[in-house]
Structures are given as structure tokens and as C-alpha cells.
Amino acid sequence: MSSATETGNLALALRQLVKHFNGVQALSGATLEVERGTVHGLIGQNGAGKSTLIKILAGLYQPDEGTIEIDGVTHERLTAHDVEKLGIHFIHQDRLLVPSFTVGEALFLGREPRLAGLPFLDRRAIRRQAEKILDKYFGLKLPANALISELTTAQKQIVQITRALLDKPSILVFDEPTAALVRREADILFDLIRRLRADGITIIYISHYLNEIEALCDRATILRNGKDVSTVDPRTTSAAKIASLMVARDIEEMFPKTAATIGKPALTTNALTKAGKFRNVSLNMREGEIVGLTGLLGSGAKDLVRVLFGLEAADSGEIVIEGENGRPRSPAAAVARRLALVPEDRRGDGVALGLSVAENTTLASLKRFTRFGFLQSNREHSEVDRLIEQLAIKTNGRFAPVRTLSGGNQQKVALAKWLSRQSSLYILDEPTVGVDIGSKVEIYNLIGKLAERGAAILVLSSDLPELVGITDRILVLYRGVVTREFISSETTPDAILAEATGALDLRSGEHRNVV
């Protein structure tokens, strides 16, 4: 239980914050003190109150009680505008960019370079500058005139980080920044954060990845049930200790192994090809199998998922689902064949923030609760309550809008939707992004149980230890081709990473994105 040294050296002190949302206590006396020029981690289970704390600092919420001190000055009431003027910038968990903007416009919104003092936008200058910045900070080439809506989640986030950096902030807050990044981008981000710290910028870093906290942070504050339980030096405190502080219990086994029996073929693809994305992909998944799929951004893994789920058309090749040949032509067709997809972009495609937990949960399985066209709310609600309990979804009831759930709990709702559908073939794209350790284990258990009941599960994850831990075998896509298949129990994350990055290409440093 250590607290920051002298007050004079604090960039920031949030003390005894209390915050209620309609009867739900999000914070109950949380304190966070951050020393100047350090990287300070903030960790805790889903719903512990991390994002709420950060949003209070951002002036998005007003606390019920507690004080906010920035650079030694106590602030009664902070607005988003004040905070920005104080040089505090945020990469929020809910990434907010206008989809119809171009990369350049999103980067320069509100501070467009003008043509020699004229009140016009100089679009060429915007584009040039945007490309320069992206290249400098991330070594990435994003066409500045690409639309935000065309970018992958990772690319959107890079745009947001870059946008914050343009303002030369004094404090930079990251709320689960790597959740959407593949390892390569995450490494670039860590590098960047260390460079920023060297430049004297104070950084607050929220993550569920304890290894990141350990590698990056000078100190870390652990939140539990809306209160800070401890502030530790993560380099000298074991991950197991930190995890037990978070959940107040010990996690015995991270990757529970289950013994599912392998059954009939569930999903087979033959020479599936989509020009410019992937070539000749032949998969063979059986009932009860958990198969991993991984690859860098642009490897074609995401495109393959889109084709399997009927979101995009392939150019040639076969898809056989449970013995039935035919490529799904729409998600509706895929779902009718008992396919399920938990998409990567949770807030865009996975759950509807404006619908309630109940409405989201039964959205893919309404037929089950319909008689003569009428919804049978009793049956619907008991199923929803059962799933809320099974997945330990922390919510203010089944009628709470999903918007009010914490990030990890939203992900559980995205999963619950398919459990209600009783799908037999699950495609899980980054299923544990933003999910805390305790719940991760619950989700792994659940995946195992699904397999035991005969479901086939395809898992995409950039968290390679997770992928190795929970799958039976792993396919690696490299530039659109399945280059290798690993037996999970006989391989290591490093071997998979080497394959995914294309061992030989690794040193050339060339990293191309398909936008």
C-alpha cells in the first residue's frame, strides 16, 4: 500500500472519487495519484470503474464526491474543454471518429491548416501532413484520403493516437489501447510510449494485459469494485500477485483444458479464394474442435472470416457447412446454417449500444421466442436472465441499455447472443478483447464447454499465448496464404509469431497494409 512520494511531484491526483449511475455504484472512493513523467498503469476487473475514473478526469462525468488536482491546482468542476486546455488528452476505450471523414479530416478536425491565412481548407496540405505524421509515429502508410469507415479497428485507433499527439499533450491517457492492435502494432505503441515518457510526458495506461503493465509501467494502481486497493511497482510485483489483488481470489489455471470428442466435419473449405485478399484456403474443422487462426493485419484472416460469414463474396472455391455445400451469400444465410460471429468491432457490429441487454441477447434468436409472430417476453426474459448469470454479466438488470455496461461486459453480451441462438459453428474474432483475467478464464471455460457439446470453434486472436492455450491447432495466414498449421500443444507463441510475420521478411521492416 504505497502512495506517491511528495505532493509537489504529482502531475495528477484524483482523491476519494465517488460516482453513482442510477443506483449503480461505479466508484466508491477511488484514489489515483500519478507522478510527473511516469507511466502509470490502471488495472482492474471489468466494471471495476477504470473507464469511469478516466471519464471523470476527462470532464465527461462529474463526480458525486471527491477532488481533482492537476499540477497542484484543485479543480471544482472540469469540463472537457478545460481538460484539453490543461494538456490532458485521451484515447478512449470507445473509439469515436466520424466514419464519413477521411483520415486527414479526422486528424485535423478543429485545427485545419489554412491556405496562407485564407479561410479555406488546404486539402493537399492536410493530406501531406497526415501522411508525414502517421509515418513518423507509426511507420505506417495510411492513405490520408481513405474514409474512416474503411479502416480496420487498429487503423482507426492509430489515427486517434496520432490525433492526440498532434496537440503535444502533457498527460496522455490510454484506455485499453492495445485491445485492438496486433502484436506488431502493439510493439510500435510501446516504443512510442517509452519515447513519450523520455520527453517528459506523463502517461496513464489502462490494460487487462499484465505483461504490458509489467513491461511498460513505473507504477500501477489496482481498482476493485470502484475503490483503489493497492498501488504497486509492477516490475517487482508478480503478475500472480497483481491478478489476485484484482479479483480477490487466486486464478488457478489460466487455460483450462477440456476433453471434447472430435466428431463429424463441421466446416470445410476447398481452395477458397478472394482476389487480393487470400488464395486457396483449405480449412477442415470438425465438431468439438477449437481451431486458431492468426496473421498480421492484411494477412487475409479478417477477410476470410467475412467470407465465411457471408459478409463478402469469395471469387472461387467451396464452403461446406455441416455437409451442406454452398457459400453463404449473406449473414442471414450463414446464421440460418447455425454459424455465429463475434466480430472484432464490438461497438460497431457486435452489440447495439442503444438496445437493452435483453434485446441484444435475443437478437439472433428471436424465432425461439416467437409464436404466431408475437414475442413471448416471459420466455425471452428467463433465457436472458439465465445467460446474464451464466456469463456473470455485470449489469443493472436485463433492461439496462448495453451502452451503460463496461467494455468487457459488452463483449459478454456479444457472446451471449450466439449462445441464445444455440449455434453450432462459432467464429470468435478477438473474443477476449477488453475482458479482465477472471472473465477471460470464464470465457475460455465456456469455449471449452461449447466444444464438449459438439460445437466447432474458430478463434482469431492476436493474443498468441491465449491462442496457443485454448486451441487444438492453429493456422497461420501470411499474405493471404495458409503457410503453416501448428498443433497447439507442441508449439509456442514465438514460433507462431515468427511464422505470422514471415520469418524472412521480419528484418526487412517492410509492413504493408491493405486498406
Partner 1 sequence: MSTVANPAIKDRFTPKSFGEGVVRYAVIIALAGVFAFFSFATSTFLTSANLASILVNNFTLLAIIAVAMTFAVSAGGIDLSVGTAVDFASFAFVSLVLSGHSVGLAVIAALASGAIVGLVNALLIAGVGITPFLATLGTLFIGRSAQQLLTNGGNPVYLPQTGIPPLFGFIGHGHILGIPVPLVIVGLLIIAASTLLFSTRFGRVVLAIGVQQSVARYSGLRISGHIGLVYVISGFVAALAGIILTSTVSVYIPNSGNAFMLNAIGATFIGTTLSREGRPNVPGTVLGVLLLSIVANGLLLTGLSFYWQQVGTGLLIFIVLAASFLNRSSRSD
Ligand X SMILES: Nc1ncnc2c1ncn2[C@@H]1O[C@H](COP(=O)(O)OP(=O)(O)OP(=O)(O)O)[C@@H](O)[C@H]1O
Asked if 467 contacts 496 with a C-beta cutoff of 8 angstroms, the reply is yes
Q: Which partner, Mg ion, ligand X, partner 1, none, binds residue 49 by CB below 5 to 8 Å per kind? A: ligand X
For residues 337 and 424, give the distance between their C-alpha atoms in angstroms, rounded to a whole number.
9
Asked if 58 contacts 206 with a C-beta cutoff of 8 angstroms, the reply is no
Asked if 131 contacts 139 with a C-beta cutoff of 8 angstroms, the reply is no
Q: List the 88-91 sheet strands across, edge first.
A: 88-91, 171-175, 202-206, 39-44, 219-224, 227-232
CB closer to Mg ion out of 310 and 407: 407
For residues 458 and 289, give the distance between their C-alpha atoms in angstroms, rounded to a whole number.
8
Q: Which amino acid is at 476?
A: V
Contact status: 354 vs partner 1 (CB under 8 A): yes
Asked if 152 contacts 297 with a C-beta cutoff of 8 angstroms, the reply is yes
For residues 217 and 75, give the distance between their C-alpha atoms in angstroms, rounded to a whole number.
27
Handedness of CA 460, 332, 442, 189 (dihedral sign): positive
Alpha-helical runs (H) found in 266-322: 301-308
Contact status: 94 vs partner 1 (CB under 8 A): yes
Exactly one of 4, 68, 144, 351 binds partner 1 (CB under 8 A); that residue is: 351
CB closer to partner 1 out of 367 and 507: 367
Contact status: 513 vs partner 1 (CB under 8 A): no
Exactly one of 396, 445, 483, 513 binds partner 1 (CB under 8 A); that residue is: 396
CB closer to ligand X out of 394 and 473: 394
Q: Which partner, partner 1, Mg ion, ligand X, none, binds residue 331 by CB below 5 to 8 Å per kind? A: partner 1
Exactly one of 248, 336, 392, 487 binds partner 1 (CB under 8 A); that residue is: 336
Cell (9 digits) for 355 = 438496445
Nearest to 51 by CA among 30, 37, 72: 30
Region binding Mg ion by CB under 5 A among candidate stretches 86-94, 226-234, 348-356, 486-494: 86-94
Contact status: 300 vs Mg ion (CB under 5 A): no
Contact status: 407 vs Mg ion (CB under 5 A): yes
Contact status: 2 vs partner 1 (CB under 8 A): no
Exactly one of 31, 38, 45, 51 binds Mg ion (CB under 5 A); that residue is: 51
According to CB under 5 A, which residues from 316 to 375 bind Mg ion? none
CB closer to partner 1 out of 75 and 473: 75
Nearest to 67 by CA among 14, 12, 3: 14
Contact status: 359 vs partner 1 (CB under 8 A): yes
Exactly one of 375, 392, 487, 506 binds partner 1 (CB under 8 A); that residue is: 375
Contact status: 427 vs partner 1 (CB under 8 A): no
CB closer to Mg ion out of 407 and 469: 407
Contact status: 146 vs partner 1 (CB under 8 A): no
- Binders of Mg ion: how many residues, by CB under 5 A? 3
Q: Which partner, partner 1, Mg ion, ligand X, none, binds residue 143 by CB below 5 to 8 Å per kind? A: none
Residue nearest to Mg ion (CB): 51
For residues 158 and 141, give the distance between their C-alpha atoms in angstroms, rounded to a whole number.
11
List phi, psi (to 5°) of 507.
Answer: -80, -25
Region binding partner 1 by CB under 8 A among candidate stretches 29-37, 95-103, 227-235, 496-504: 95-103
DSSP per-residue letters across 395-423: -S-TTSBGGGS-HHHHHHHHHHHHHHHT-
Map residue 327 onto helix, strand or coil: coil
Contact status: 288 vs partner 1 (CB under 8 A): no
Q: Which residues neighbour 432 within 8 Å (Cβ) at sequence distance 6 or greater?
A: 411, 439, 440, 443, 444, 461, 463, 466
Contact status: 109 vs partner 1 (CB under 8 A): yes
Exactly one of 25, 28, 60, 241 binds partner 1 (CB under 8 A); that residue is: 60
Exactly one of 15, 20, 123, 394 binds partner 1 (CB under 8 A); that residue is: 20
Contact status: 144 vs partner 1 (CB under 8 A): no
Asked if 365 contacts 421 with a C-beta cutoff of 8 angstroms, the reply is yes
**Shortest Å distance, C-beta 397 to partner 1:** 9
CA angle 92, 93, 95 (to 5 degrees): 75
- Please report which helix (H) or strand (E) contains residue 291, including its range: strand 290-294
**Shortest Å distance, C-beta 94 to partner 1:** 6
Q: Which residues bind ligand X (CB under 6 A)?
A: 21-22, 24, 26, 44, 46-52, 93, 394, 404-409, 434, 436
List phi, psi (to 5°) of 64.
Answer: -75, -40
Q: Which partner, ligand X, Mg ion, partner 1, none, binds residue 46 by CB below 5 to 8 Å per kind? A: ligand X
Strand segments (E) across 135-275: 171-175, 202-206, 219-224, 227-232, 265-274
Cell (9 digits) for 514 = 491493405
CB closer to ligand X out of 45 and 488: 45
Q: Which amino acid is at 36?
A: R
**Shortest Å distance, C-beta 407 to partner 1:** 10
**Shortest Å distance, C-beta 50 to partner 1:** 13
Contact status: 343 vs partner 1 (CB under 8 A): yes
Query: Which residues make up the interface to Mg ion (CB under 5 A)?
Result: 51, 93, 407
Query: Which residues make up the interface to partner 1 (CB under 8 A)?
Result: 20-22, 55, 60-62, 64, 84, 89-92, 94, 96-98, 101, 106, 109, 160, 163-164, 167, 309, 311, 330-332, 334-336, 341, 343, 348-355, 359-360, 363-364, 366-367, 370, 373-375, 396, 400-401, 403-404, 417
